[in-house]
Chain A
Amino acid sequence: QKEVEQDPGPLSVPEGAIVSLNCTYSNSAFQYFMWYRQYSRKGPELLMYTYSSGNKEDGRFTAQVDKSSKYISLFIRDSQPSDSATYLCAMSGRKNAGGTSYGKLTFGQGTILTVHP
């Protein structure tokens, strides 16, 4: 079983739809959760970064973390064709006793999203 599971899609939605992207994880040590957006042939771009359970909103994007269920989500409201990209969840563990963490991100497989006009 992979540490992080993400449905690769592809996911195709009409413009204006609400998009829900999800990841589940098995490692209880994960404490930090990120969503990256990657356009074709480009590097990943950090969209959202969360630590605690709950919701975090930034414009049309809402990140949700449920640590008890080991489940994270990214919601995109009023989706636009420019949102068409691969969305990667990523997570990492807590800091060690020395105050620094390993610095390794564990990524999901990525979900390919297409928003059509």
Chain B
Amino acid sequence: DTEVTQTPKHLVMGMTNKKSLKCEQHMGHRAMYWYKQKAKKPPELMFVYSYEKLSINESVPSRFSPECPNSSLLNLHLHALQPEDSALYLCASSSQIGDNEQFFGPGTRLTVL
């Protein structure tokens, strides 16, 4: 299995809602990443997990809360988001942190009303 899967594909939420994005990989990768991508822009790194521990937080607002329950799963918990947080949220994985061959999932398209 050489795939990164993400659920849901689409999510619409209000500014007071709490929701979660999920990412899963079964490639045995020990580094997992969250990116945010706005339309016609490149992906922007948000968080990096290495061996289920948070290694990098790119100064992301606390309304985004990542979680890595095990080596195959990565969650992004969302709370009190703003309309400008609407974007495509991408998960990626690589064999180790620093391995530049990152494999991306299809993304979750998030709309905040």
Pair B56/A104 contact, Cβ less than 8 Å: yes
A117 within 8 A of B: no
Binds B, one of A12-20, A54-62, A67-75, A105-113: A105-113
CB distance from A88 to the nearest CB of B (A): 6
Pair B102/A41 contact, Cβ less than 8 Å: no
Chain B interface residue count, CB cutoff 8 Å, equals 30
CB distance from A33 to the nearest CB of B (A): 9
Given known A49-B100, A49-B101, A103-B97, contact A109–B41 (CB-CB < 8 A): yes
B109 within 8 A of A: yes
Interface string of A80-93 (1 = CB under 8 A from B): 00000000101010
Chain B residues with Cβ below 8 Å from A43 are: 4, 6, 90, 92, 104-107
Chain A interface residue count, CB cutoff 8 Å, equals 25
B103 within 8 A of A: yes
B112 within 8 A of A: no
A78 within 8 A of B: no
Chain A residues with Cβ below 8 Å from B40 are: 8, 110
Pair B102/A105 contact, Cβ less than 8 Å: yes
Q: Which of B55, B98, B104 contacts A44 (CB 8 A)?
A: B104
Pair A46/B43 contact, Cβ less than 8 Å: no
Q: Which of A32, A42, A88, A110 contacts B100 (CB 8 A)?
A: A32
B86 within 8 A of A: no
Interface string of A16-46 (1 = CB under 8 A from B): 0000000000000000101010000111111
Pair B42/A110 contact, Cβ less than 8 Å: yes
CA distance A2 to B64 in the complex (A): 27
8 contacts between A and B (CB under 8 A): A49-B100, A88-B42, A100-B98, A103-B48, A103-B56, A104-B56, A109-B41, A110-B40
**Chain B residues engaging chain A, CB cutoff 8 angstroms:** 4, 6, 31, 33, 40-43, 45, 48, 50, 55-56, 88, 90, 92, 94, 96-107, 109
Give me 6 other A-B pairs in contact (C-beta within 8 A), A34-B101, A36-B104, A107-B42 excluded. A34-B100, A43-B90, A43-B104, A49-B100, A103-B50, A103-B98
